[in-house]
């Protein structure tokens, strides 16, 4: 159950964008105002909080003000919240609108060609796989990011998406496009994302307690890729619950494919099971795991051998290994366009 603190009253109710179990009785601050005032200020009305002279007022969650310093990276003490998942669809492998608010679609302009998935980690920044964007100029003018996307076959959706041009493409400097080591990149948006219940940031793992192996009890991948090697790409955002593999087991499985000399980089991790895996079209998307009431991105979808094959995991870039680089890159480019 979620408690909304409004300026004149306190409401106790269930939030339609998250389950009571996930929120652990968290307290959210909101303002009591008339409905159209809330909508006009870019807020999200949740429930009625006051009746004044026959005018109904709502408890309104207002988005944070954009930062003049290039965004608010989670974990640095400036972001009010991150990793807040929306309501579960209850349908296996099909997400609900707004359920994974950090998942974005990266498109090539001007034809809106789908490039890869990605994740909103900050109001100005999207994280994806380097192999997705290494062919694009560093200035990124030929790319844009679609936030809040759900059904890629329709422009009329229950929750409207937002498109933001990409200003810069920043590959990890040690990215190897042959071995796919250090397969991570950051896209800087030309303007800050407007945070709403269906457009929000994912948390980054800052401590050992937020590593994939620690959080392996509940982890998901999301994307518009194929469900199987023989199927078509998905129009609706899909979600797949995947197990995290122990490093030794993954090493043995990959050596059976690449030879005994293959060594899994310490900056990679493995996940998946037979029939539960990332596939073509999912690259660059997030692997997230739940820690208490929040979701942390522990990996970036990098590569695999087929899709969902028995005893063959997918390989992911280990996010926590790159958090220092992420912070340094964001700080370096904070005031650039």
| pLDDT tens for each residue of 136-148 | 887 767 999 999 9
53-57, 228-232, 252-256: the lowest-pLDDT one: 53-57
Looking at per-residue pLDDT, the higher value among 250 and 65 belongs to: 250
Q: How confident is the model at residue 5 (pLDDT cuts 50, 70, 90)?
A: very low
| pLDDT of 191 | 94
Q: What is the mean pLDDT of the segment spanning 8-19? A: 32
Residue 324 has pLDDT above 70, yes or no: yes
Q: What is the mean pLDDT of the segment spanning 226-247? A: 88
Strands (E), the chain: 2-5, 10-13, 27-29, 31-34, 44-52, 55-61, 103-108, 113-120, 125-128, 143-147, 162-171, 185-189, 219-223, 238-241, 268-271, 286-291, 294-303, 314-318
171, 275, 284: which is closest to 224 by C-alpha?
Answer: 284
| pLDDT of 157 | 81
| pLDDT of 52 | 54
Q: What is the mean pLDDT of the segment spanning 277-296? A: 91
pLDDT digits over 238-274, tens only?
Answer: 999 999 999 999 999 999 989 998 889 999 999 999 9
Distance (Å, whole) CA 161 – CA 146? 7
305's tokens: 């051998």
pLDDT digits over 162-219, tens only?
Answer: 999 999 999 999 999 999 999 999 999 999 999 888 999 999 998 766 666 666 678 9
Residue 115 has pLDDT above 90, yes or no: yes
112, 129, 142: which is closest to 223 by C-alpha?
Answer: 129
The chain-wide mean pLDDT, for the chain, equals: 80
| pLDDT of 42 | 63
| pLDDT of 71 | 39
């Amino acid at each position: 159950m979620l408690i909304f603190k409004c300026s004149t009253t306190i409401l106790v109710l269930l939030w339609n964008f998250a389950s009571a179990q996930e929120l652990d009785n968290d307290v959210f601050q909101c303002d009591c105002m008339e409905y159209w005032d809330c909508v006009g200020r870019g807020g999200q009305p949740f429930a009625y909080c006051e009746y004044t002279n026959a005018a109904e007022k709502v408890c309104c969650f207002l988005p944070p003000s954009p930062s003049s310093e290039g965004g608010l990276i989670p974990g640095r003490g400036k972001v009010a919240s991150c990793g807040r998942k929306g309501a579960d669809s209850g349908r296996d492998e099909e997400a609900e609108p707004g359920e994974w608010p950090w998942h974005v679609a990266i498109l090539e302009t001007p034809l809106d060609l789908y490039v890869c998935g990605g994740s909103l980690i900050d109001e100005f920044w999207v994280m994806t796989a380097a192999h997705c964007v290494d062919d694009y100029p560093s200035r990124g003018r030929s790319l844009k990011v679609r936030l809040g996307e759900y059904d890629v076959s329709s422009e009329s959706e229950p929750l409207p998406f937002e498109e933001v041009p990409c200003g810069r493409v920043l590959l990890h400097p040690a990215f190897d496009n042959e071995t796919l080591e250090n397969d991570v990149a950051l896209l800087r948006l030309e303007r800050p994302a407007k945070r709403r219940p269906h457009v929000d940031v994912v948390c980054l793992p800052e401590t050992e307690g937020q590593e994939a192996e620690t959080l392996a009890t509940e982890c998901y991948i999301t994307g518009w890729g194929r469900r199987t090697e023989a199927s078509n790409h998905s129009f609706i955002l899909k979600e797949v619950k995947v197990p995290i593999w122990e490093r030794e087991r993954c090493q043995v499985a990959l050596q059976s494919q690449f030879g005994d000399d293959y060594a899994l980089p310490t900056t990679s991790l493995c996940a998946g099971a037979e029939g539960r895996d990332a596939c073509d079209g999912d690259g660059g998307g997030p692997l997230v795991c739940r820690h208490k009431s929040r979701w942390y991105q522990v990996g970036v979808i990098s590569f695999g051998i087929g899709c969902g094959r028995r005893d063959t995991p997918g390989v992911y870039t280990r996010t926590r290994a790159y958090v220092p680089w992420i912070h340094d890159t964001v700080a370096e480019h904070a005031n650039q366009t």
